[in-house]
Amino acid sequence: MLEIQGLNVFYGDIQAVWDVSLHVDEGSIVALVGANGAGKSTLLRAISGITSAKEGEILFSGKSLKKLPPQDIVKMGISHVPEGRRLFSNLTVYENLKLGAYIPRSRRSVTQSIERAYDLFPVLKNRMNQKAGALSGGEQQMLAIARAMMSRPMILMLDEPSLGLSPMLVKTMFELIMNLNRQKVTILLVEQNIHQALKIADQAYVLENGKIAMTGKGKELLSDPEVQKAYIGTRWSKS
Amino acid sequence: MKKDKQVILTALLILAFAVVPFIVDSEKSYLVYSLFLFFCYIIISQAWNLVAGYTGQISLGQHAFFGLGAYTTALIWLNNITKTGYYFDPVTILLSGLVPATIAAIVGIPLLSRLRGDYFALGTLGMGEIIKVIFVKGGSITGASDGLHLPSSVYSSIRPYYWTGLFLAVFATLLIYLIVRSRTGLALKAIREDETSAAAHGIHVLKYKVLAFSIGAFLAGLCGSLYGIYLFHINPDSVLKLDWTLYPILMCVIGGTGTITGPLLGSFFISTVFSVADIYFVQMHPVMAGILIILVMKFMPKGLIGLTQRKEL
């Protein structure tokens, strides 16, 4: 469904992603894991068009995304929940959701989509007229995901959905991601919570300094001694 | 029910303003002139409000569009271009809005695609100065620094200015109200909040920014046209001065940016302060206005509109 071939991404003179190739199968959960600054977020930003300086090829259902601006990429069915959520904080929950369905394809079904979002996250319904910035961290993350789902994407890219959430909420968040996946949404997940991410991932890629260091099935990587040593460590970082 | 009430109240308020020239002696009363200025301030404030308050693009070039509107009116009139009568001619006034709107779109594309935040503000300031220089150096076409003189013998009463001003102020406010409630308005607010995120949701950021900038220029141009017809003498010092950018900013900030009623309150507040100070504290009024502005900002950072809102938790 999503195919990346030999991708290099730059920030000015600095290269953040080096010759990355990966593919995401339809209906799967793919996790990109790695330390801070490994290039995970950059990769997502390159796919969604926010970062435009890139070489190589990004194909979505056979079509090249490389030269498209972000507003055209979202129209093709790729939705991105960026790091730090990037909500429209002075707008209401309702307005945020409505903006999620801005593209023509999803505009017609906006009422049903909002109903679906409220079913998924009842708390958002109670707070529909509050400003997004007034929500708690967990609620904001829910809103960010609900907003991204409003465009009825085929693939949902989540950047650190568990960041800043309490352990309880982290669990809920990962259950939710699996839930969305069961509803036939393909998931591309970037996480620092490597343990949780690998547990749910069908396929996973480990990034190190902008390069793919390892790849495999999520559960396989989880038990890989190298990964354990480098990223999961001993009990205090297990969630 | 609540909405109906609001509509009725607004209509009554507009009607009350409309009949003022019948109640007071419009040719001698200072009130009618002050209210005329108040209406002009509303138009340019709402223009800035759309661009900066709702779209988040701080434009410091509104005076250029105001001046362009005034000059367009004068040039059409003096060169007898449209052959439509000119004194309060709707065609001329409309064209005086469309010319700045077109120029805003042309300069807006490079400015808004290349510059963000403070740099955009400085870019528009530079654009305003360039336009001013063009008019100063315009030779016989623009009348250089002396400007253009319109045939003032057609003046008979301030009443048509008053009503046109009222009409345009209502038009500007209604236009902004309808825009911000529409899908377009939602896109503009999203751009103000987070440009990158807006683009990632399928909003063509540049297109909407240019649209807002252009509509802002359109309204400023309409106001410039009306004010030009009032002055009869259009020169760079009167219609291209920076005040036409600074006043609307002041009024929006004092009243409450990014709201519909904020600029109305701010315009009313500032024009009242200016008028009162003009009468009682001749030559002191900038000082008084300055003090009041500091006080409002200190105690009401959200502007006067903040008084009507409940405190948010």
In whole angstroms, give the CA distance from residue B171 to residue B177. 10
Q: Are A87 and B313 an interchain contact pair (Cβ–Cβ within 8 Å)?
A: no
Confidence of residue A233 (pLDDT cuts 50, 70, 90): low
Size of the A and B interface in Cβ pairs below 8 Å: 71
Query: Does pLDDT of A213 surpass 70?
Result: yes
Q: Nearest Cβ partner of A82 from B200, B312, B313?
A: B200
CA distance B115 to A32: 34
User: Which pLDDT score is estimated for B311?
Assistant: 46
Residues of B contacting chain A (CB within 8 angstroms): 183, 186-187, 189-190, 192-194, 196-205, 312-313
Asked if B200's CB is within 8 angstroms of A48's CB, the reply is: yes
When CB atoms are compared, the residue of A89, A91, A102 closest to B203 is A102
**For a pLDDT cut of 70, what percent of chain A falls above it?**
97
Question: A82 to chain B: which residues are within 8 Å by CB?
Answer: 196-197, 200
**Alpha-carbon gap, residue B53 to B263, rounded angstroms:** 10
Distance CA A89, CA B190 (A): 9
| Cross-strand partners of A188 | A30, A157
Ordered structural domains, chain A, with CATH = 1-77+155-168+186-234 (3.40.50.300), 87-153 (no CATH)
Residue B260 contacts residue B176 (beta carbons within 8 Å) = yes
Measured between beta carbons, the chain A residues lying within 8 angstroms of B192 are 90
| Alpha-carbon separation of residue A192 from A8, A108, A138, A139, B290 (angstroms) | 22, 37, 17, 20, 52
Cα gap B112→B205, rounded to integer Å: 9
Residue A131's nearest CA partner among B302, B313, B306 is B313
Chosen from A81, A86, A158 to mutate, greatest number of chain B CBs within 10 A = A86
- A99 → closest Cβ in B190, B192, B205: B190
Ranges of chain B with pLDDT below 70: 1, 285, 289, 307-313
> Which chain A residues are Cβ-neighbours of B203 within 8 angstroms?
71, 99, 102
Stretch (H or E) spanning A32:
strand A29-34
Contacts of A1 (CB under 8 A, 6+ apart): A23, A24, A25, A26, A60, A61, A154, A155, A186
To the nearest whole Å, the CA of A52 is away from the closest chain B CA by: 12
CA distance B147 to B142: 6
The helix or strand, by DSSP H or E, that contains position A55, with its residue range, turns out to be strand A54-60
Report how far apart the first and last C-alpha atoms of chain A are (Å, whole number).
Answer: 31
Alpha helices in A40-166 (DSSP H): 40-48, 70-75, 93-100, 104-107, 110-120, 122-126, 137-149
Contacts 24+ apart (CB under 8 A), A166-175: A166/A138, A167/A239, A169/A138, A169/A141, A170/A196, A170/A239, A173/A141, A174/A199, A174/A200
Q: Quote the pLDDT of residue B150.
A: 84
Most A CBs within 10 A among B182, B192, B201, hence the mutation to make, goes to B201
> Minimal CA–CA distance to B220: which of B14, B72, B35, B40?
B40
Which residues fall within 8 angstroms of residue A223, CB to CB, at 6 or more apart?
none
> For residue A140, which phi and psi values (nearest 5 degrees)?
-65, -40
Contact B200 A50 (CB under 8 A): yes
User: What are the Cα distances from residue B78, in Å, to B54, B73, B93, B99?
Assistant: 37, 9, 14, 17
Alpha-carbon span B54 to B267, nearest angstrom? 18
Q: What is the C-alpha separation between A204 and A198, in angstroms, rounded?
A: 7
Mean pLDDT (chain A) is 89
Handedness of CA A98, A99, A100, A104 (dihedral sign): positive
Do B189 and A95 make contact, defined as CB atoms within 8 angstroms? yes
pLDDT at A34: 87
pLDDT tens-digit readout, A169-191: 888 889 999 999 999 999 999 99
Q: Which residue from A54, A52, A58, A57 is spatially nearest to A78, judged by alpha carbons?
A: A58
- Looking at chain B, which residue has its C-alpha nearest residue A82? B197
Query: What does the DSSP assignment read for chain B?
Result: -HHHHHHHHHHHHHHHHHHHHHHTTTTT-HHHHHHHHHHHHHHHHHHHIIIIIIT----S-HHHHHHHHHHHHHHHHHTT-S-S--TT-HHHHHHHHHHHHHHHHHHHHHHHHH--HHHHHHHHHHHHHHHHHHHHT-HHHHTGGG-EE--GGG---SHHHHHHHHHHHHHHHHHHHHHHHSHHHHHHHHHHH-HHHHHHTT--HHHHHHHHHHHHHHHHHHHHHHHHHHHSEE-HHHHSSTHHHHHHHHHHHHH-TTSSHHHHHHHHHHHHHHHHHHHHSTTTHHHHHHHHHHHHHHH-TT-GGGGTSPPP-
Locate the domains of chain B by residue range: 30-241
Which stretches of chain A sit within 8 Å of chain B by CB? 48-50, 69-71, 74-75, 80, 82, 86-91, 95, 98-100, 102-103, 131, 134, 147, 151
Report DSSP state, residue A185.
-
Query: Å from A218 to nearest chain B CA?
Result: 29
**CB-based contact B196 A74, cutoff 8 Å:** no
CB contact under 8 A, A88 and B200: no
User: Between chains, do B203 and A88 touch, taking CB under 8 Å as contact?
Assistant: no
B202·A80 Cβ contact <8 A:
no
**Between vectors from CA A156 to CA A155 and to CA A162, what angle results, nearest 5°?**
155
Contact B201 A102 (CB under 8 A): yes
Q: What is the percent of chain A with per-residue pLDDT over 90, rounded to a whole number?
A: 55
Which pair of structure tokens corresponds to residue A135? 């929500």
Report the alpha-carbon distance of residue B90 to residue B226 in Å, rounded: 10
B194/A103 touch (CB, cutoff 8 Å), yes or no: no
The whole-number pLDDT of residue B124 equals 94
Lowest mean pLDDT among A123-132, A159-168, B303-312: B303-312
- Residue that has been written with the tokens 């400007």 in this structure: B147
Cα-flanking dihedrals φ and ψ of residue A189, to 5°? Answer: -120, 130
Name the residue facing A102 among B193, B194, B202 (closest C-beta). Answer: B202
pLDDT tens figures, A66-103: 899 999 999 999 999 988 889 999 999 999 999 999 99
